[in-house]
Amino acid sequence: MRLSGDAGQIYRQIIREIHSRVRLDGAKLPLKPKSSREEIERMREKLRAFTPHDIPANIKPLKVKKEYLNDRILFVREEDIDKVAKLNLCKIDAGEPGLRIGREFFELETDEKSNTALEVIVAPEIYVKAVYENLENLKALADLMLKAFGSSVVPEVLSEVEKIAPLMERARLAGRIEEIVAEEALRLNRRIEEKISELEVTIKGERILELMRGRVPEIEELESFIAEEVIESERKIEEITGINAEIFSRSYPVEVNTVAVDRIKAEIEEEAIIELYKACRPVAEKIFRLLPEINREVEKAYELEFLRAVKEFCSGFVFPEFSDCIAFVNGKHLFIPNPQPVSYAVGNSEIASGKIAILTGANSGGKTSLLELIAQMQIMAQMGLPVNAEMAWTDVVDELFFFKRKRGVQGAGAFESAVRAFTRALLGKGRKLVLIDEFEAITEPGAAVRIIAEFLRIAHEKDHYVVIVSHLGKELSEMLPFARVDGIEAKGLDENFNLIVDRQPKFGRIGRSTPELILEKLYRKAKGEEKDVLERVCRSVRD
């Protein structure tokens, strides 16, 4: 359904209200009004069949981030270098096709030529890493899919990645070894400092070093303690790395043997990287194959969250019946606090008949709000959503046109713009719902009657639905026998001289205009000669 004029603003208010209830950013899905009854029915069925689920907040698409790997060289034929270089995964050189990692060389099979396949072959770790770093998110996704749909491809991937988790941690260790050693050296020196304090050694640090070099007997206890603590710290590093090495000096302050650390790092890298590469190849191929399905499951999760938000927004609403009218009983405006329920109809309904309706009555009586309510009902109905009413009926239209008068906009430019808009609303094929708010306010009343009347004749000939707010109900009804005139009436004034308005339109009756009541208000508050003048004016209006 096309949304023209101010109808788009009404739609945006509705979709914002739904999105405000969505707890996942990715689940703020679009939902446009449809002109196909079948599409509307499909959305209705989704909502009817929807079972609420707790949607985990950490669900998100699985994205594979490319990384440049310095630990390998990819050899390709000379003519393929430029094409493969675009992958930017590792260093590339000409030669017999294959991949060198450390001392090992892996041949590339002839069917592994496409750039996409090469990513999996050259850098399978980046696919496995993407899953490994999102294990909790993916577990939450799998649980949701199993509960909601009874199946998921995610567990198949998780089980494979979890098998090689120790290798992943081993490979990560190489990048953290300097940090691990530095932290242990810090702890080691603190323990030694505490021991010095316990021995109540008062000699300054520089003197301690001199005494230690001289093998002074008084320091032997401290030297023995330092040696024991160094061995204990090196044992802890060995437990982590699996490699025995003299990492720390045997004197205070303890210093790190960077050569030994570099050797440990190199051993871990060469061993772990090759083993990890071999283990990741088959797992990455499975991830690559299932990645589209995994992200489709994410989209399903987003849809579930979106439907949950829709159900929350539409709680207590009703699905309108399809009919040859647009009507509702006790409909409530979505964005007015504590709105008065209103019933209205255009078309052939039990509430009222006639596709052309002229809405008249009191200023500030709710005529514009009623047009907004009609627009809300029609937009939500064609989005496939229930509407805020006790009962409702809808006809599927191809376009909703809403002309909302801009306050304070007058003159020839405003009139020309309004005529163009109204004209466009009547052009083309298809059924339309046209809502017009006080067209005559931007031109002379005499001309407005003739212009509006002709526009409404054209709309009637094209079998459109039209509701137009106008203060020219009497004049238009005399010219247009097919048009129904409805009225919103101000019943009177309360004790504070405020208008008492019944916002429920009276079908087939011109609404009592506000000016009469405003005059009455002024008359009742006036005194002396002013009261006499206003009495004559009030009498002339009544007559």
CATH number of the domain within which 507 lies? 3.40.50.300
- Is 127 part of a structural domain of the chain? no
Same domain? 390 vs 519: no
Q: What is the reported pLDDT for 20?
A: 96
Domain boundary among 204, 226, 254: 254
Distances (CA, A) of 456 to 1, 84, 400, 449, 461: 22, 67, 16, 11, 9
Domain boundary among 254, 272, 301: 254
Same domain? 487 vs 463: yes
Tell me the helix, strand and coil percentages in the chain, rounded to 5: 55, 15, 30
Q: What is the reported pLDDT for 493?
A: 74
- Is 541 part of a structural domain of the chain? yes
Structure tokens at 543: 């007559």
Same domain? 217 vs 334: no
- Is 82 part of a structural domain of the chain? no
Q: How many CA atoms lie within 13 A of 151 on its CB side?
A: 3
Cα–Cα distance between 55 and 516 in angstroms, integer? Answer: 58
Same domain? 508 vs 524: no
- Is 247 part of a structural domain of the chain? yes
pTM of the predicted structure, to 2 decimals = 0.78
Cα–Cα distance between 467 and 377 in angstroms, integer? Answer: 14
Same domain? 539 vs 428: no
Same domain? 464 vs 475: yes
Q: What is the reported pLDDT for 110?
A: 47
Q: What is the reported pLDDT for 207?
A: 55
Same domain? 326 vs 218: no
Q: Binding site for ATP: which residues?
A: 361-368
Same domain? 235 vs 356: no
- Is 131 part of a structural domain of the chain? no
Q: What is the DSSP letter of 256?
A: B
Same domain? 498 vs 526: no
Q: Decide if 132 contacts 162 (C-beta within 8 A).
A: no
Q: Decide if 436 contacts 5 (C-beta within 8 A).
A: no
Same domain? 386 vs 523: no
Same domain? 232 vs 345: no
Q: How many domains are there within the chain? A: 3
- Is 441 part of a structural domain of the chain? yes
The mean pLDDT value of the chain amounts to 87
Q: What is the reported pLDDT for 271?
A: 79
- Is 190 part of a structural domain of the chain? yes
pLDDT tens by residue, 104-137 = 899 876 454 455 578 899 999 999 999 999 999 9
What residues contact 256, with CB distance under 8 A and at least 6 apart? 181, 182, 185, 247, 248, 249
Nearest Cα to 140, choosing from 64, 55, 61, 63? 55
pLDDT in tens, the chain (543 residues): 999 989 999 999 999 999 999 999 899 999 999 999 999 999 999 999 998 888 888 899 999 998 899 889 999 999 989 888 888 989 999 998 999 998 889 987 645 445 557 889 999 999 999 999 999 999 999 999 999 999 999 999 999 999 898 888 877 777 788 888 888 888 888 888 887 777 654 455 555 555 555 555 556 777 788 888 888 888 888 888 788 888 888 888 888 888 888 888 888 777 788 889 999 999 999 999 999 999 999 999 999 999 999 999 999 999 999 999 999 999 999 999 999 999 999 998 888 889 999 999 877 778 999 999 999 999 999 999 999 999 999 999 999 999 887 655 555 566 777 788 888 888 888 999 999 987 765 566 667 888 889 999 999 999 999 999 988 888 888 999 999 999 988 777 777 777 777 889 999 988 766 677 778 778 888 889 998 898 888 888 776
- Is 61 part of a structural domain of the chain? no
Question: DSSP alpha helices (H): ranges in 462-501?
Answer: 473-479
Cα–Cα distance between 227 and 340 in angstroms, integer? Answer: 86
Residue range of the domain that includes 523: 514-543
- Residue 248: beta bridge partners? 256
Q: Binding site: which residues?
A: 361-368
Same domain? 449 vs 525: no
Domain boundary among 230, 254, 278: 254
